[in-house]
């Protein structure tokens, strides 16, 4: 049996195998995924009060192998003892705590200067650095990294100077758009059935995960240690556990965020303008070879609107 036949027998396809690494000990490696949660905008009480939401999200992670996520905090949400205490629960549970700027500015607006944006990063750093699990990872709000090369490079230089790394997303998604629909429905009808939102959410996240993983394999020739974007919201308080079960049922391996960020791919700094989106999207864009597979922005509520309307969400 030659190597090609051997691969076929194993049913792997040539896709995910590194040349030279093939032997009888070869087993297909699971696709790996870590959970990263943005914003920490905890001050909402629809269906669950803030402490219940916090507990629900933490419990979903704990009950899935004590999975450690990363939480990217917009520090304006730490303006009270209540918010600070809830973040301490994340700290005590061993999750990675990181910077998402103070006021969550849209860097690609021509009204936001690199100076104002970097001052906003520094302002969050001052507040969040005292948490023991804090690490110098920065996630750009809206995944927007600059509408000009000058701005992009100025912010990157600031991050480097201050020892920060980019806390990239590999799998971008629009959980926030589904959350908007869910919130509106529950505001009008507190007893509404939430299952259709759950089902749409799970299908959406799985679909986007497959898209970005496929794109990674095309652009890099391999899968990566994924970091999926989700938000601190009711949707995840209710259904994060189901989402984690879904990935496991598809054969994906849940890994700690700390582990995911070790993938060398996260060091990349694609020179595209406008800069940002998922790091996989940006790397694909930079090659100029995958434009048929790329839309801009990578994710948006617009793309989900018709589907959600049709389902009556």
Give the residue with the Cβ less far from Zn ion, 31 or 77. 77
**Which stretch in 11-19, 36-44, 75-83, 111-119 sits in contact with Zn ion by CB under 5 A?**
36-44
Query: Which residue in 36, 37, 38, 257 binds Zn ion (CB under 5 A)?
Result: 38
Sign of CA dihedral 141, 104, 52, 93: positive
Q: How far is the CB of 190 from Zn ion (least distance, A)?
A: 27
Assess 172 for contact with Zn ion (CB under 5 A): no
CB 60 within 8 A of CB 248: no
Q: How far is the CB of 104 from Zn ion (least distance, A)?
A: 6
**Which stretch in 19-27, 39-47, 168-176, 259-267 sits in contact with Zn ion by CB under 5 A?**
39-47
Beta pairing class for 165-166 and 225-231: unpaired
x/- site string to Zn ion, residues 128 to 167, per CB under 5 A?
A: -------------x--------------------------
- Which residues make Cβ contacts (< 8 Å) with residue 4, sequence separation at least 6? 14
**Count of residues that interact with Zn ion, criterion CB under 5 A:** 3
**Residue 143 has what DSSP assignment?**
G
The DSSP element (H or E) to which 32 belongs, if any, is: strand 32-39
Q: How far is the CB of 173 from Zn ion (least distance, A)?
A: 13
Whose structure tokens read 């749409």? Answer: 200
The DSSP element (H or E) to which 304 belongs, if any, is: helix 301-310
Rounded CA-CA distance 188/313 in Å is 13
Q: How far is the CB of 162 from Zn ion (least distance, A)?
A: 20
Give the residue with the Cβ less far from Zn ion, 32 or 39. 39
Closest residue to Zn ion, based on beta-carbon distance: 38
Give the residue with the Cβ less far from Zn ion, 74 or 283. 74
Rounded CA-CA distance 103/77 in Å is 9
Q: How far is the CB of 176 from Zn ion (least distance, A)?
A: 8
Beta strands (DSSP E) in 59-201 are: 70-73, 96-99, 134-138, 165-166
Q: How far is the CB of 19 from Zn ion (least distance, A)?
A: 40
Query: Which residue in 32, 39, 120, 304 binds Zn ion (CB under 5 A)?
Result: 39
Beta pairing class for 134-138 and 32-39: unpaired
Which positions lie near Zn ion, rule CB under 5 A?
38-39, 141
């Amino acid at each position: 049996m030659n190597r090609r036949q051997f691969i076929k027998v194993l049913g792997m396809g040539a896709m995910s195998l590194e040349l030279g690494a093939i032997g009888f000990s070869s087993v297909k490696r699971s696709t790996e995924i870590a959970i990263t949660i943005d914003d920490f905008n905890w001050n909402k009480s629809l269906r669950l009060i803030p402490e219940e939401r916090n507990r629900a999200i933490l419990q979903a992670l704990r009950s899935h192998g004590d999975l450690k996520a990363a939480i990217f905090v917009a520090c304006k949400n730490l303006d009270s003892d209540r918010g600070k205490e809830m973040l301490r629960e994340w700290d005590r549970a061993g999750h990675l705590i990181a910077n998402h700027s103070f006021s969550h500015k849209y860097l690609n607006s021509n009204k936001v200067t690199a100076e104002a944006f970097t001052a906003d990063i520094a302002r969050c750093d001052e507040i969040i650095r005292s948490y023991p699990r804090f690490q110098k990872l920065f996630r750009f709000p809206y995944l927007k990294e600059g509408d000009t090369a000058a701005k992009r490079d100025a912010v990157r230089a600031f991050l480097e100077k201050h020892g920060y790394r980019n806390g990239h997303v590999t799998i971008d998604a629009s959980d926030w758009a589904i959350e908007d629909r869910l919130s509106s429905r529950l505001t009008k009808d507190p007893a509404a059935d939430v299952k259709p939102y759950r089902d749409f959410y799970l299908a959406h996240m799985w679909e986007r995960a497959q898209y970005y993983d496929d794109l990674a394999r095309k652009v890099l020739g391999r899968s990566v240690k994924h970091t999926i974007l989700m938000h601190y919201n009711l949707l995840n308080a209710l259904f994060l556990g189901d989402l984690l079960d879904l990935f496991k049922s598809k054969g994906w391996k849940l890994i700690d965020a700390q582990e995911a960020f070790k993938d060398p791919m996260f060091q990349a700094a694609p020179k595209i303008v406008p800069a940002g989106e998922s790091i996989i999207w940006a790397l694909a864009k930079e090659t100029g070879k995958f434009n048929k597979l790329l839309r801009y922005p990578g994710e948006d509520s617009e793309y989900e609107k018709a589907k959600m309307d049709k389902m009556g969400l």
